[in-house]
A = this chain, B = another copy of it.
Amino acid sequence: MAYAESEITARLADYVVSARTADLPDKVRHEALRSFFNIVGCTIGGARHEIVDLADKTLAPFAGPQQATLFARGRKADIMHAALINCFASSIYSFDDTHAQAVVHPSGPVAAAVLAFAEMRPVSGSDLLIAFALGVELECRLCKAVSVAPAVGSMAWSGTGISGGLGAVVAVGKLMNLDVERMRWAIGIALSQAAGFRAMHGTMQASMMPAQGAPVGLRAAVLAERGFTASSVALEGKYGFLTVFCEKPDLDALAGGLGSRFELLRNTYKPYPCGIVIHPIIDACLQLRREKGITADRIARVDIQASPGTMALCNNRNPKDELQAHVSLHHWVAVAFIRGTARIQDMDTETAVKDPALMAFQSKVEAVLNPAIAADGTELTVTLTDGSVHVCKIEHGIGSAANPMSDADLERKFVDMSEPVIGAVRTRELVAKSWGIASLIDAGELSRASA
């Protein structure tokens, strides 16, 4: 390694402070844009979820002045509350993004923080996008450094919970033009509030752990800018972050190759709002429907060869509510063949999970274990009522690292999430502003357009 282990925090701060848009390769800038575009769609998609309502209404009595937009909620609040609720919304369907190695959903806390900040203190879209890219990059690096071999860490931590604040703080600190000393304090303040463990998964609090990263990062940047001090060696210092959050950190993953190696390029996007191991099965259904015109009324049975992970997690017929539907392959096969879609509204408890047609179709679906099938693959056989048989084999489902979603796929996902919430016209406007974020003079325009 070309750097002293005692200089990790300084190196990260120095990199963020000095990085310029031109320093990022084109493909990195484009992947940052894709991550940003995707998370804006997720934020709108989750904005009216009943759990988001509950969190917003419960905490609104303590919120401050109208500084930043609550996406698609027709209101503003102080930047801390807005960033919290917007990030919470982006995470509520677990439909956001995932680094291909570390289990971290990086874009939520960073996007929510910079978007709220941009409404309080105007910044250009181009500056916002590079700040976002740097935040996501460092967040992925930190999470990888404490959880992916050769690092020795604990599966128990919430990856986004413990690294989201870092992503948010360096992004906001970059927009503030903090100097290196203050950037180091800002990193220290944010890391000393890093929190969250996986026992919360399956409860409402699961999405609150990543959401807290946004206000934690914002608050840390605001404090450091005014001279509020913290350890300058929060990561590597004695009794610091790396001591407590893992047994053995991978320092090279954290601070090696800054500016030349980009974890951001390993970010992936979920095409469907359900357990990731169901995704290739949905791909197969939609492909047969699209390419061979196979519709539900002609189907006698569906036989699925599924990976061990799919069988362990998602072999659940007749789910009772949204939470169970999230991990039922039978539900999604029925949805894909009957509706030709796989969207958020397709797991609504009343209008989808309890739809008699969807429930009835599930009895035709059988899954069997095939250990030779990978987690991102499947082999699906449809027998029609006329006796004919059609097979579809998927090697790597859409959205996997080997078969990423195209820009058009991402746009379709955005529209599917956004239209039911804010309608087609405003969705078109936001799609355009999100793809075009780098050319906005005032990045705050984007958030205001979502109100």
**A interface list, Cβ under 8 A from B:** 51, 54-55, 57-59, 61-65, 67, 78-81, 154-158, 161, 185, 188-189, 192-201, 203-205, 208-209, 212, 219, 222-223, 226-231, 233-234, 237-241, 243-244
A199 near B240 (CB under 8 angstroms)?
A: yes
Task: Please measure, in the bound complex, the distance between the C-alpha atom of A92 and the C-alpha atom of B67, giving whole angstroms.
Answer: 30
B193 near A58 (CB under 8 angstroms)?
A: no
B188 near A203 (CB under 8 angstroms)?
A: yes
Task: Please measure, in the bound complex, the distance between the C-alpha atom of A237 and the C-alpha atom of B188, giving whole angstroms.
Answer: 30
A239 and B199 contact, Cβ closer than 8 Å, known pairs A58-B228, A228-B58, A228-B205: yes
Nearest B residue to A198 by beta-carbon distance?
A: B239
- A243 contact set on B, CB distance < 8 A: 154, 156, 197, 199
Expressed in whole angstroms, the minimum distance between the Cβ of A15 and any Cβ of chain B is 21
* 10 pairs from A and B in contact (CB 8 Å cutoff): A54-B226, A58-B222, A58-B228, A62-B81, A154-B243, A154-B244, A192-B195, A192-B208, A197-B240, A199-B231
- A192 contact set on B, CB distance < 8 A: 158, 161, 195-197, 199-200, 205, 208-209
B65 near A61 (CB under 8 angstroms)?
A: yes
- A54 contact set on B, CB distance < 8 A: 226-228
Expressed in whole angstroms, the minimum distance between the Cβ of A202 and any Cβ of chain B is 8
B62 near A239 (CB under 8 angstroms)?
A: no
Name the contact of A230 in the complex, choosing from B189, B205, B241 (C-beta under 8 A).
Answer: B205
Nearest B residue to A60 by beta-carbon distance?
A: B64
A55 near B228 (CB under 8 angstroms)?
A: yes
Nearest B residue to A220 by beta-carbon distance?
A: B205
Task: Please measure, in the bound complex, the distance between the C-alpha atom of A201 and the C-alpha atom of B57, giving whole angstroms.
Answer: 37
- A185 contact set on B, CB distance < 8 A: 203, 205
Expressed in whole angstroms, the minimum distance between the Cβ of A94 and any Cβ of chain B is 16
A204 and B228 contact, Cβ closer than 8 Å, known pairs A157-B244, A192-B195, A243-B154: yes
Name the contact of A188 in the complex, choosing from B61, B80, B205, B240 (C-beta under 8 A).
Answer: B205
Nearest B residue to A79 by beta-carbon distance?
A: B62
- A62 contact set on B, CB distance < 8 A: 64-65, 67, 78-81, 219, 222
Task: Please measure, in the bound complex, the distance between the C-alpha atom of A154 and the C-alpha atom of B240, giving whole angstroms.
Answer: 11
Task: Please measure, in the bound complex, the distance between the C-alpha atom of A57 and the C-alpha atom of B222, giving whole angstroms.
Answer: 11
Q: Which of A156, A188, A212 has the most CB of B within 10 A?
A: A156
- A204 contact set on B, CB distance < 8 A: 228-230
